[in-house]
Amino acid sequence: MTPPGIPLGATPGADRSTDPYLPANGNGGYRVLHYDLDLDYRVVSNRLAGRAVVTARAVQPLSRFSLDLGPRLQVRDVRVDGRPAKFDHRTGKLRIKPERPIGYGATFKTEIRYAGKPGPVSGRWGDIGWDELSDGVLVASQPNGSSSWFPCNDRPGDKAAFLITITVASAYTVLVTGDLVSKRRGAGATTWVYERDEPTAPYLMSVQIGRYEMVDLTTAGVRQRAAITPRVRAAFRHDFGRHGEIMKAMQQLFGPYPFREYVVVITDDDLDDPVEAQGMAVFGRNHLDGRRTHERLVVHELAHQWFGNSLTVADWRHIWLNEGFATYAEWLWSGASGGPSTNTHAARWHAWVAAQPADVVVADPGVDRMFDPLVYKRGALALHALRAKVGEQAFFTLLRSWVAEHRHGTVTTQQFREHAARYSGASLDDLFTAWLDSPALPPVPRVL
């Protein structure tokens, strides 16, 4: 290990990403192609030992490069293409100087062995990442908590495939965002192997560990399962009883579900908010009450599988493309299931927004306002205004084609503007400027 304070080279921009909101998270100079993680976790002692192999392609010549890795994990060894490399691990950055420089366009493999007591990353949004439950683990990494459990390029636009092997005491069920490849039971511990071959942002990878039982959400269509604890079984059966119908409605609205399976996890702990991950959503037991009080959240998290997970923002400025769309999905399901119409929701939330200070620009809210409810509600209102402008057929056609054309890719607000313009008989510049670029609130839109 290089002693602290000794520079590891002079590759420009190696330690900073292109995300204007979180420039300290993510790294330049390469794109990750694949993560191979082999983890051993002890629940009682909260001890994680890991081996990560990160396969990447250089997008510039590299004399050095960096990965994000939280300070609670200690690095034991780093090798690049099989050769020992110098490294320095401080302030959440693992800086690596390979024995030989890496040429532009070259594919290279970095192997990192590390261990420690993982814990969440603390910041302006609270604790994010690997977090202990009362008896298990929850991982919720949006927007910058992935480094709490594995070395990564922690920015949303660098999507990669994953293979995750994790060994845990056999009393626990392990769920990872991916397809279960194998499960091998040994003497007191079980090894679970999951693969996620669709390009995935690091923050959307998740591990859930608990004493769960698996149940089917529906027996038709897309495979939909849930991990629950016995004491929530009755409330769960009612609160998620329409999940098959919700999935069918979302597919009719947005196109085919983008993954092979959808898994819902109900932790035995209370959570402030549900959490979406790739092909997964995590709820607290407090989100179940046997009265479907929180069904809109069920819809919201499922909609993120299209908007946020399959289509992932290139950087966090564009977060309304995740949250505005998922919020509008809530309104669409409400109308489709016999509840208040989208016009009713639009009028109600327009009145709420009008009562707030007009100080958020939806298309670029700033890092402090990324998760502001105004971004969610005004984003949904912008979509309702677009629907009112272009008409029913054009609106839903453009939504489905938006999803299809950018499947498993990254997206920006400008791309959506250009896409929507293809389906309008008139210019949409004034509409998007009013709803996305200006803090002033336009009149309430109404779909006829």
**Cβ pair 256, 403 in contact under 8 A:** no
Helix (H) / strand (E) element for 155: namely none
Structure tokens at 438: 């200006």
Distance CA 254, CA 407 (A): 11
The architecture in CATH of the region 30-202 reads Sandwich (2.60)
| H or E segment and range at residue 186 | none
Sketch the domain layout of the chain as residue ranges: 30-202, 213-305, 313-437
Kindly report the number of other CB atoms within 10 A of residue 448's CB atom: 6
Q: Is 376 a catalytic residue?
A: yes
CA Rg, the chain, in Å? Answer: 22
For 279-308, the pLDDT digits (tens) are 999 999 999 999 999 999 999 999 999 999
Quick check: 200 and 311 in contact, CB under 8 A?
A: no
Binding positions: 300, 304, 323
- Rounded Cα–Cα distance for residues 366 and 384 (Å): 23
Rounded CA gap, 136 and 45, in Å? 11
Is residue 276 part of the annotated active site? The answer reads no
pLDDT score for 75: 98
**List 21, 257, 376, 423, catalytic entry:** 376
What is the distance of C-alpha 154 from the center of its chain? 11
Contacts 24+ apart (CB under 8 A), 41-47: 41/137, 41/166, 41/167, 41/168, 41/209, 42/169, 43/135, 43/136, 43/137, 43/168, 43/169, 43/172, 43/209, 45/117, 46/117, 46/118, 46/119, 46/132, 47/115, 47/116, 47/117
Question: Is the domain covering 313-437 a CATH 1.10.390.10 domain?
Answer: yes
Please tell me the distance from the alpha carbon of residue 448 to that of residue 443, in angstroms, as a whole number: 15
Whole-number pLDDT of residue 5: 38
At 31, list the tokens: 């794109």
pTM of the model: 0.95
The pLDDT score that the predictor gives to residue 17 is: 72
Evaluate whether 213-305 and 313-437 have a shared fold.
yes
Sites in the chain below the pLDDT cut of 50: 1-10
Contact 198, 179 (CB under 8 A): no
d(CA 37, CA 441): 47
Name the residue among 441, 317, 314 with its Cα closest to residue 377. 441
Q: How much is the pLDDT for 15?
A: 65
**Structure tokens, 301:** 């998290």
- Binding site for Zn(2+): residue ranges? 300, 304, 323
Could you tell me the fold of the domain covering 213-305? Neutral Protease; domain 2 (1.10.390)
Neighbouring CB atoms inside 10 A of 114's CB total 24
E strands, 222-289, in order: 223-228, 261-266, 275-277, 280-283
pLDDT of residue 11: 59
Cis? peptide before 143, omega within 30° of 0: yes
List the one residue out of 281, 298, 393, 309 whose CA is nearest residue 337: 298
Q: Which of 198, 276, 295, 301 is catalytic?
A: 301
| Residue that the structure tokens 């420009």 belong to | 12
